[in-house]
Amino acid sequence: MMSQASAPPRQRTAIRGGWVVAFDGSRHRIISDGAVVFVGDRIVAVGVGAEADADTVIDARGKLVIPGLISTHAHIGAHPGDRLVLDVGRRELQGSGFLHYEPRKALHAPPFGAGEDTGAALRFGLATLLRSGVTTVLDMGTGDAIVGRELVRFAGECGIRLYYGPGVTSAHYLWSVDGRVLRSWREDGGAGALRDAVDFIKEHHGRYDGRVHGMVIIHETFNAAPALLRAAKTAAGSLGVGLSIHCAEQVFEFHEILRTTGFTPVGYLASVDFLGPEVVLGHCLYADGHSRVGYPYAGDLETIARTGSSVAHSPVAVARRGAMLEDLQRYVDCGVTVSIGTDSYPHDMFAEMQYASMLGKVATRNHEAADAATVFTAATLGGAKALRRTDLGRLCPGAKADLVIVDFTNPRLGPVYDPVKALLHCATSDLVERVIVDGITVVDRGEVLAWDHSTLLAGVRASSRRVWDGFRAHHWAGRTAEEEFPPSFQAWTGDDDASCGG
Ligand SMILES: [Zn+2]
């Protein structure tokens, strides 16, 4: 492992910009030729000339200095699954991705990713997040306590801020012999797994100078018994940590919950008093009134806003399955706290922000909707509010020294009329030059300092290839990955005759 570059704790370090996206106490503001000064893990000054008496100056002239981005919904080590189902899949699963590979043939059969090198997968995911400017990430309950320990250790190594707890569920997905998706409900409804998650959080919360935070994670609204939801809410309250859950993510979920409870997924969570300011709802695109659910608008968004819950919006992953949260602007206008998540892959906050804005406009046929300011605010202040943090997602004295420098000298930016609009619509995450968390540089010149990039890439590729090669043993009818999920073009070995067609 390469050593991390770190600033001596009491030294005054200044980033001399460039444009600085600073926080005035209520919203972001742009300072041209500004500076940000931090001592240890805290920002102490922001403004023009603030760098005057700094011990060390990082030159960011011509560049953009932004708060560290916050991904409030990530499956950090999930690489092989959703890559398989791109462009293909069974129509009866209604656009779902994970139902193509998540179910097992039997309750005790190995899971989909049984052959994976979880260490390689997790480190690659964390590195990708950091390289796209994410300084804080909420992982949606990857693995059990054993995998969770690895994740916490890797987060400590690379320096990211992590919100996590092992995920809990009342039911698991199974395949019938003819490929139908079934559910197997746990006898204890998930109570034992929740107890284990609570123990895990007690053990790890606050580690690595407080960068690791516990979070109670319930996998899915669809698979959560009311008793588990109530117990999770109580547990999170006792621990003083947040709660997150997938909600209103699938069309079939909307209809099944509606049919069995009489409530929409959001209404169901409200009916068991689950919602509150500590709750982050993953995806939440199928609120009532969505054009794909065939149910009139009856106030889901007001319910979310009234309870203070937040939504983690991950437009890229759902767009790949032909879906979208239809009216981001309406969520915001209703008072819902919207944050941005990177979901499964490629953990690219820049792409998520661009899609959030573009799809927010396309869905409403309104060029004014989901503007750059709204989306950038969601990726920063929205994420901070979702995690109930007043010291993240902003550059102001007293805030954590979590910062990102984006290389705006790159020619792909072209003329910059408005740096935030340029960030959303012209930049890519490859322009992230330096990332600082708690005052410590963790990415420099676009490279994660803790790990070697080519080793990470080779590791995650070998790991994913093992899962794909072993898919036949996992599939209910013994099909290979290539049979079930045809690649774009057939493999060509060059043995058969080639011509130019015609
Ligand atoms: Zn998810």
How far does residue 273's CA lie from ligand 1's centre (Å)? 22
How far does residue 313's CA lie from ligand 1's centre (Å)? 10
Measuring CA to CA, which residue among 102, 99, 73 is closest to residue 252?
Answer: 99
Cβ count within 10 A of residue 101: 23
The predicted model scores a pTM of 0.96
How far does residue 101's CA lie from ligand 1's centre (Å)? 14
How far does residue 75's CA lie from ligand 1's centre (Å)? 6
Cβ 286 vs Cβ 293: under 8 Å = yes
What residues have CB less than 8 Å from 238, skipping those under 6 apart? none
Question: Which pLDDT does position 6 carry in this prediction?
Answer: 53
How far does residue 488's CA lie from ligand 1's centre (Å)? 25
How far does residue 76's CA lie from ligand 1's centre (Å)? 10
How far does residue 436's CA lie from ligand 1's centre (Å)? 26
Cβ 17 vs Cβ 409: under 8 Å = no
Strand partners, 38: 13, 43
How far does residue 375's CA lie from ligand 1's centre (Å)? 19
Which 8-state DSSP code applies to residue 112? T
Structure tokens at 337: 């706290």
How far does residue 168's CA lie from ligand 1's centre (Å)? 14
Which 8-state DSSP code applies to residue 5? P
How far does residue 325's CA lie from ligand 1's centre (Å)? 14
Structure tokens at 365: 């046929």
How far does residue 155's CA lie from ligand 1's centre (Å)? 19
How far does residue 341's CA lie from ligand 1's centre (Å)? 9
How far does residue 345's CA lie from ligand 1's centre (Å)? 10
Mean pLDDT in consecutive groups of 10 residues from the start of the chain, 502 residues: 50 95 97 97 94 93 98 96 93 90 90 92 98 98 95 98 98 93 95 98 98 98 97 98 97 96 97 98 96 95 98 97 95 98 97 98 96 98 98 98 98 96 97 98 98 97 96 94 94 77 66
Longest dimension (CA), the chain: 73
Which 8-state DSSP code applies to residue 4? P
For strands 56-67 and 403-406, give the pairing: antiparallel
What residues have CB less than 8 Å from 60, skipping those under 6 apart? 15, 16, 17, 18, 405, 434
Measuring CA to CA, which residue among 434, 442, 439 is closest to residue 60?
Answer: 434
How far does residue 321's CA lie from ligand 1's centre (Å)? 13
How far does residue 388's CA lie from ligand 1's centre (Å)? 20
How far does residue 344's CA lie from ligand 1's centre (Å)? 7
Q: Which domains are assigned to the chain?
A: 1-67+396-445 (2.30.40.10), 69-392 (3.20.20.140)
How far does residue 318's CA lie from ligand 1's centre (Å)? 10
How far does residue 340's CA lie from ligand 1's centre (Å)? 12
How far does residue 73's CA lie from ligand 1's centre (Å)? 6
